[in-house]
Amino acid sequence: IGIYDDDPEIITLDRGEFDAAVNSGELWFVNFYSPRCSHCHELAPTWREFAKEMDGVIRIGAVNCGDNRMLCRIKGINSYPSLYVFKTGMQPVKYYGDRSKESLKNFAMQYVTSTVTELWAGNFVNAIETSFASGLGWLITFCAERGDCLSYQTRLKLAGMLEGLVNVGWMDCGTQGELCDNLDISSSTTAYFPPGATINNKEKGGVLFLKSLDAREIYQEVMQHLPDFEVISAASLEDHLAHHRWLLFFQFGESDKSNVQEFKKLKFLLKDEHIQVGKFDCLSSPTICNKLYVYQPCLAVFKGKGTGDYEIHHGKKILYDIVAFAKESVNSHVITLGPQNFPDKEKEPWLVDFFAPWCPPCRALLPELRKASKHLYGQLKFGTLDCTVHEGLCNMHNIRAYPTTVVFNQSDIHEYEGHHSAEQILEFIEDLRNPSVVSLTPETFVELVQRRKREEIWMVDFYAPWCGPCQALMPEWKKMARMLNGLISVGSVDCQKYYSFCHQESVRGYPEIRLFPQKSNTAHQYYSYNGWHRDSYSLRGWALGYLPQVSVDLTPQSFTEKVLNGKDHWVIDFYAPWCGPCQNFAPEFEILARTVKGKVKAGKVDCQMYAQTCQTADIRAYPTVKFYPYQGTKKNVLGEYIDSRDAKGIADLLNEKLEAIQNKGKRKKSRNK
């Protein structure tokens, strides 16, 4: 159980909601702890007190690293408790001070950027008028001889709590006596003046006088006094939604009053994204809500294209979650589907996510779909279908589990089977576009694999669709195929469909991975993969071991003759046979050798066997890659160090360097003319 699970002022964040929370535009102070650590339990009472006091000024969060190991590792947390301040647009800041409430408060208040204005005769009228004109009211505390006004700390806290909604100021009636007399202030007073209020009228219409000296109580009173969101009528709905982005609260009669005061901050927090906030009452016009399939109170974002493009919020009814959803939604291309807009054998392809809002993996997938939709804008449309509302449509498409994600491409239907992450979805789509794996039939197996050309190598996965390890292998197999593109052909055989063929090929278990090497005497010889790890990198490393070597093994003599004194460009891998990273890099270097063949020669030097050569070349770590370009003279033994372990990256770098050498040569020639 988490330490802070029952504290209303402390928000416990998990991996799925962490980034959304700290990027919502509010200021967060987060306590990363482990339930097992004694210091974490010692800090807890102070952290609770601190949270109560700062509630509303900044968000106080907690992350239980026992439940969220991955999140804490990504954030670089290596000791408990670790306290960090997060604010959009700045690097997280770690707190190193002593763990008293006062020190925590002083540290946190440094990051509260809101200001308290001292008002006096010289700025008073202008400050009030400018603010009223922009729709903001003033909360002013007047400090006189008699009575109490708000302390410096309380004013500052209120400025943080009301940022963007109300300006906070104070006036010293000791020095501004005349002004205070004009305003009829004889003893210390705190009041909220809404926009347009008459300031010096005896009646002070609409002015809210505040008796409390407590920041939290004043905040709640002022928030209640602020106007609610605009209620949009059925007649004007289309017009409103056609030209602007909106976040709409759908209500059925009176709204629930919980959280509502805090939601008034939405307008300010969504201003930069140009999202307006409003309400719509479904009881006053049920036809519109029925048309949108809204049957209970909810929130939806309309993307500025009328009532067609909208997305319903399925997250928590908490300010930061709504802010994150609204920002993500308007900038991505996922829409809520129903029978009215469900893709029907359209010309363009669609990805449809069939889900149920009560299922946690479904909710976790939604932000990932939004991320993926940004990358595929214009190529693939994204929609979500709530099966609790549209049971008929889900049954029609045979949906048995949630979430089920399907790509409809005219008459082709492809079900997504990978992890619920944007990266994997993008890989899956890329693979549909340019399949990296050939689906083999018994006939094409004979034709392509058994009768392959002399130099050709094939890798084949014999699988059954119902087998769990086969399903887990599929995304890795496709990824491996993309990495081997052009070097080794990759196929798969569905042994449920072609049972007797697999039986005849002696496939006894699934998945069975076989490599058919370059042809020697027999057509049927193959190697079976027996490794533990079926991830794309392990499989690729294993396969590349069967490619004939293109790089040259060099001795001290051939290194001097061919590389240093020769007239070719060389790229060299200095390695040691005992070093693990060298073994991992070897297949990568072979790919490089093939990629740059004809332009740059590739060589390898074994530094265990030829220590002297490696010392002369100043090799201090294994593997080290160096480039020795030929520029008309003997090459320098030190070469040019290359800081990359990726074949494609190194190849790009070498091509850049070759181009520079060529241009230099051209310039020299034209000068000599």
- Locate 612 and state its tokens: 């002297």
332-416, what's its fold?
Glutaredoxin (3.40.30)
Active site residue 582: yes
Burial class (CB in 10 A: 0-12, 13-18, 19+), 78: exposed
Q: Which pLDDT value is given to residue 200?
A: 65
pLDDT score, position 459? 96
Q: For 345, left (φ over 0), alpha (ψ -120 to 50), or beta?
A: left
Of the residues 362, 470, 495, 614, which is catalytic? 470
Cβ burial of 433 (10 Å; 0-12, 13-18, 19+) is exposed
Q: Which CATH architecture has domain 116-225?
A: 3-Layer(aba) Sandwich (3.40)
What integer pLDDT is reported at residue 193 of this predicted model?
Answer: 92
- Render pLDDT for 581-593 as a digit per residue (tens, 0 to 9): 898 888 889 989 9
> How many residues are there in the chain?
673
- The region of weakest confidence among 543-557, 609-623, 657-671 is 657-671
Phi-psi label, residue 418: left if phi above 0, alpha if psi -120 to 50, beta otherwise: beta
Q: What is the pLDDT of residues 651-671, one digit of tens each?
A: 999 999 999 888 887 777 777
Q: pLDDT band for position 123 (50/70/90)?
A: very high
| pTM recorded for the entire structure | 0.72
Q: Which of 387, 502, 582, 614 is catalytic?
A: 582
% pLDDT > 70, the chain: 97
CATH of 552-664, one of 3.10.20.30, 3.30.70.360, 3.40.30.10, 3.40.50.720: 3.40.30.10
Which class would CATH give 435-544?
alpha beta
Q: What is the mean pLDDT of the chain?
A: 89
Domain ranges for the chain: 10-109, 116-225, 332-416, 435-544, 552-664
Flag whether pLDDT at 421 surpasses 80. yes
Mean of pLDDT values over 529-545: 89
Residue 522: the pLDDT is 56
Average the pLDDT over 295-318 and give the result: 90
Average pLDDT over residues 360-380: 90
Question: Is 467 designated active site?
Answer: yes
Q: Each residue of 75-91: pLDDT tens digit? A: 999 899 999 999 988 89
pLDDT, position 203: 59
- Amino acid 205: pLDDT: 66
- For 466-517, write each residue's pLDDT tens digit: 999 998 898 899 989 988 888 899 999 999 999 999 999 999 999 999 999 9
Average pLDDT over residues 359-388: 91
Average pLDDT over residues 191-216: 80
pLDDT at 204: 60
Residue 524 binned pLDDT confidence (cut-offs 50, 70, 90):
low
- The class of domain 10-109 in CATH terms is alpha beta
Q: Contact 296/345 with Cβ under 8 angstroms?
A: no
- Spell out the residues 6+ positions from residue 501 whose beta carbon is closer than 8 angstroms to its own: 442, 445, 493, 495
Q: Do the domains 552-664 and 332-416 match in fold?
A: yes
Q: Give the chain's count of helices (H) and strands (E).
A: 24, 30
